Chain A
Amino acid sequence: NAGVTQTPKFQVLKTGQSMTLQCAQDMNHEYMSWYRQDPGMGLRLIHYSVGAGITDQGEVPNGYNVSRSTTEDFPLRLLSAAPSQTSVYFCASSSGFSGYYEQYFGPGTRLTVT
């Protein structure tokens, strides 16, 4: 199993550009989530999904959109990038939606917005 994969690894955007961060998992997990991590900070939850067709907002959802059309994929869209969105983005998946289930994280996408 590849686990959780994220593409791209690095990305530089100009202010106002849009892009999609890709996340895929091959463990048949129902629950997927996106976090961002800023320097010296912990992880902050952006959006999450408890299954295909179901998404919800986390702590810092503004400026980001998500959709979940398949169990495997959970892309994160930045509609109009801003310098404040410069961060490292992590995608995670788990088999259940509660603190009991182990979350598996991807390697991250390092995004810079100039």
Chain B
Amino acid sequence: LAKTTQPISMDSYEGQEVNITCSHNNIATNDYITWYQQFPSQGPRFIIQGYKTKVTNEVASLFIPADRKSSTLSLPRVSLSDTAVYYCLVGDKGTALIFGKGTTLSVSS
């Protein structure tokens, strides 16, 4: 099962771009990289998923280099409402998803 490593916390200001990098050196060929967001007192919710290169949706972008040993979640122009915990997960086919401690992002005005 691929293990992920991401920073425990990050601070930012409103309007800045935030990049959260996740390391997954043992990623397997069939693994997808998925990011979840969790607000206080709520369950996590899916943000974005990718396999390689770049994926963009209305919330974020996900950059994955060719070796897939890391990935970067990019949040453009964050606001106070982006304050949350962000989890990077790497899923083996046929096994349960394991969440780590995630990255706590604090956005200030």
Listed in ascending order, the chain A residues whose CB lies under 8 Å from chain B are 4, 33, 35, 40-45, 48, 56, 58-59, 90, 92, 97-100, 102-108
- List residues of chain B with CB within 8 A of the CB of A4: 43
B87 close to A (CB within 8 Å): yes
Further pairs besides A40-B101, A98-B32, A103-B36: 12, Cβ < 8 Å: A35-B99, A42-B99, A42-B100, A43-B44, A45-B98, A99-B91, A99-B92, A99-B93, A102-B46, A103-B44, A106-B43, A108-B42
B80 at the binding interface (Cβ < 8 Å): no
Option from A48, A100, A103 in Cβ contact (under 8 Å) with B93: A100
**Residue interface mask B64-84, A partner, CB < 8 A = 1:** 000000000000000000000
Check A99 against B89 for contact (C-beta < 8 Å): yes
**A42: chain B residues within 8 A (beta carbon):** 85, 87, 99-102
B95 touches A41 (CB 8 A): no
Determine whether the beta carbon of A103 is less than 8 Å from that of B42: no
Whether B42 contacts A45 by the Cβ 8 Å rule is no
Give B14 Cβ to nearest chain A Cβ, in Å: 25
